[in-house]
A and B are shown apart, each in its own frame.
Chain A
């Protein structure tokens, strides 16, 4: 039994005041369900992989709020029926592929029948505002078990911790003290998001992606020439172009992300996948390779096949 991509949807935020990570994810999930002709209550598992939110909420998992917003089996447990299990998975820009790996396994086992992977990010409120490193966007993929299609057959990931410092992010406490009308006020401040992207990050990302891809294909007994379609993320030319050249994959075998979603962050793989579905190239390709690269450096790969090997 294989796992089929039932639908994929990625959409850019409109930049409006009310754009939030939750709303972006809600909209993408709702649209994706409509595309697939599925009801919210059909979703057995909902994994949210977004990283950057306007409020940096620590708990609950944002996935639980998304589940409530889209109306998927809200509870209370009745006698009969089935619920939805939601949680967040964090693996930077590789989160979508990691979540696909988890859900593909549970679909094969029959533990779930319909899985959703949801993503969204908004530009974090940075201490030193620089050029935005992401474009607000939300995405969703629905996965279903399918006897007639191989679908996702193999997953692989590698990390290169020697490059861990090239991309870091986190909240850092910035205290301040001062005086109010009634005298000294207690120290206060904020937990400030600090993102550090060092020069050379994209180039190293491309190097690591090439190395990991070659190792993955070798393990599968495949060559670069067997890959009919490469779906890479991030879509930045500084990553995709050198990667394509290093691997020797012609441009017509690469699914390029539409311009308005080029800087989507965790939604990147879904944006590229959506483009491949819309153009019909995913269903035409015998072997499709999804590739994501992110902090760590982490490279995640997934092979999607039309027919079993």
Chain B
């Protein structure tokens, strides 16, 4: 029907830079979280495995505990709570939201272990009062929330919308319980399931006055590794079971991520040393440290700080990046003027990278509202 399209050379990532897609910038205006009150320590979890494993999970991962849902909580309530928290830190009303994207993998709601239809985003927008917003769900494993931001960036840059929200709630700790029934050793493909914790997160983006805001955001799918981490509904209990070739996944991620980070900082015209806070997907402290070491080896410089947020939360799946960002804003570790890099890594293998500078949004955190 037509000639083959011409490809842009030297951009492995599908990349958006400030001002490239339209006249407007897209800024992160606020983030919010909803974390369940109930906690589960790694020691407690490992004491309940069906087989004696001798796995020193806390030493291996740096995870001391994780938050887990209590009665009446599920993916929907966590997502809705996070959206409300996000609005409480925002200058916007729910009625300003023109598009709402839910990126929960687990999608549990009202006794359903995973809802399919209608999309969870419909219920979230109704619950928070964003009734006029366009909505849809997106599923991209642990990279879901940043994928949502990627899509909103284009809509904001072109002026199609001026305010949008990405939200996710993950009640994913049932994977840990399903895995605990079968795990026998460190080499189990379900080991990564023991690192999971429950949380909701939301991020609101808005039109920036000029092309300021997110400097660069890029994504790619390294599909030759698409089967390294797979999750299916379980026959052991509600929810799913996840099978991960963790060592291969880690090796591939470290090997392939550095050139993609180089591409992103190149597009931003900066150096890795210009990044004040690198917030990577939270899997294990060891993996994050060895990944950072490889970046430094390949790129020659290091970010000023690398955020490891595992001790209290574990791996909260699609919400990790924004749970960490929220925590560091609340603790006033990340401040106005700091340049942040979010680094998503997910089954697929999906790799997503965003660079932005914290602006006046920092003023809305760190004190009681």
Judged by a CB distance under 8 angstroms, whether B111 is at the interface is yes
Most chain B CB neighbours (cut-off 10 Å) among A46, A78, A88, A112: A88
Of B52-60, B77-85, B344-352, the segment with at least 4 beta carbons within 8 Å of chain A is B344-352
B224 nearest in chain A by CB position = A74
Give complex CA distance A114, B157 in Å: 20
Judged by a CB distance under 8 angstroms, whether A231 is at the interface is no
B193-222 CB contacts (< 8 Å) to partner A: 219-222
B347 nearest in chain A by CB position = A60
CB-CB under 8 A from A83, the residues of chain B are 12-14, 220-222
Q: How far is the CB of A104 from chain B (nearest CB, A)?
A: 10
Q: How far is the CB of B366 from chain A (nearest CB, A)?
A: 34
CB-CB under 8 A from B363, the residues of chain A are none
A95-120 CB contacts (< 8 Å) to partner B: 95, 98, 102, 105-106, 108-114
Please state if A82 and B136 are interface contacts (CB–CB under 8 Å): no
Judged by a CB distance under 8 angstroms, whether B15 is at the interface is yes
| Residue interface bits B212-249, CB-to-A below 8 A is 1, else 0 | 00000001111111110111111111111010000000
CB-CB under 8 A from A44, the residues of chain B are 7, 14
Q: How far is the CB of B201 from chain A (nearest CB, A)?
A: 17
Please state if B12 and A191 are interface contacts (CB–CB under 8 Å): no
Judged by a CB distance under 8 angstroms, whether A274 is at the interface is no
- Count of A interface residues, CB-CB < 8 Å: 84
Give complex CA distance A167, B237 in Å: 26
Give complex CA distance A58, B241 in Å: 9
Judged by a CB distance under 8 angstroms, whether B315 is at the interface is no
CB-CB under 8 A from B115, the residues of chain A are 168-171
Known: A109-B157, A191-B239. A68 touches B224 (CB 8 A): yes
Please state if A57 and B232 are interface contacts (CB–CB under 8 Å): yes
| Residue interface bits A68-106, CB-to-B below 8 A is 1, else 0 | 100011111111111111111111100100100010011
Known: A37-B4, A60-B346. A188 touches B229 (CB 8 A): no
A159-188 CB contacts (< 8 Å) to partner B: 159, 161, 164, 167-173, 175, 186-188
Please state if A113 and B7 are interface contacts (CB–CB under 8 Å): yes
Please state if A159 and B135 are interface contacts (CB–CB under 8 Å): yes
Most chain B CB neighbours (cut-off 10 Å) among A72, A74, A159: A159
Please state if B147 and A105 are interface contacts (CB–CB under 8 Å): no
Please state if B4 and A169 are interface contacts (CB–CB under 8 Å): no
The contact of A161 among B14, B122, B223, B263, by CB within 8 Å, is: B122
A31-69 CB contacts (< 8 Å) to partner B: 35-39, 42, 44-46, 51-52, 55-61, 63-65, 67-68
Give complex CA distance A74, B22 in Å: 30
Interface size range of chain B in the complex: 35 or more
Please state if B181 and A186 are interface contacts (CB–CB under 8 Å): yes
Please state if B138 and A90 are interface contacts (CB–CB under 8 Å): yes
CB-CB under 8 A from A190, the residues of chain B are 233, 235
Give complex CA distance A79, B22 in Å: 28
Known: A75-B349, A76-B256, A113-B6. A65 touches B227 (CB 8 A): yes
Of A206-214, A216-224, A246-254, A291-299, the segment with at least 4 beta carbons within 8 Å of chain B is A291-299
Known: A55-B232, A77-B256, A169-B116. A84 touches B223 (CB 8 A): yes
CB-CB under 8 A from B219, the residues of chain A are 85
Judged by a CB distance under 8 angstroms, whether B44 is at the interface is no
Please state if B154 and A171 are interface contacts (CB–CB under 8 Å): no
Please state if B12 and A42 are interface contacts (CB–CB under 8 Å): no
Give complex CA distance A190, B252 in Å: 34
Give complex CA distance A90, B116 in Å: 8
Q: How far is the CB of B196 from chain A (nearest CB, A)?
A: 12
Give complex CA distance A33, B256 in Å: 28
Please state if B7 and A90 are interface contacts (CB–CB under 8 Å): no
Judged by a CB distance under 8 angstroms, whether A6 is at the interface is yes
A73 nearest in chain B by CB position = B223
Give complex CA distance A191, B239 in Å: 7
CB-CB under 8 A from A58, the residues of chain B are 105-106, 114, 139, 231-233, 240, 242
Give complex CA distance A83, B225 in Å: 14
Please state if B8 and A113 are interface contacts (CB–CB under 8 Å): yes
Please state if A89 and B138 are interface contacts (CB–CB under 8 Å): yes
Known: A6-B1, A58-B114, A64-B347. A45 touches B139 (CB 8 A): no
Judged by a CB distance under 8 angstroms, whether B151 is at the interface is yes
Q: How far is the CB of B351 from chain A (nearest CB, A)?
A: 9
| Residue interface bits A148-165, CB-to-B below 8 A is 1, else 0 | 000000000101010010
Q: A83-B12, A170-B113 are in contact. List 16 more A-B contacts (CB 8 A).
A: A45-B14, A58-B105, A58-B114, A58-B242, A59-B105, A61-B139, A78-B12, A79-B10, A81-B9, A90-B137, A102-B154, A112-B14, A169-B115, A186-B181, A188-B235, A191-B235
A to B CB contacts below 8 Å, 21 in the list: A35-B1, A42-B7, A56-B233, A57-B230, A59-B139, A59-B242, A68-B227, A75-B221, A76-B224, A77-B222, A78-B12, A80-B10, A81-B12, A83-B220, A86-B221, A87-B147, A106-B21, A164-B118, A168-B115, A175-B237, A296-B122
Chain A contacts to B: CB under 8 angstroms: 4, 6-7, 35-39, 42, 44-46, 51-52, 55-61, 63-65, 67-68, 72-92, 95, 98, 102, 105-106, 108-114, 144, 157, 159, 161, 164, 167-173, 175, 186-191, 193-194, 294-296, 298
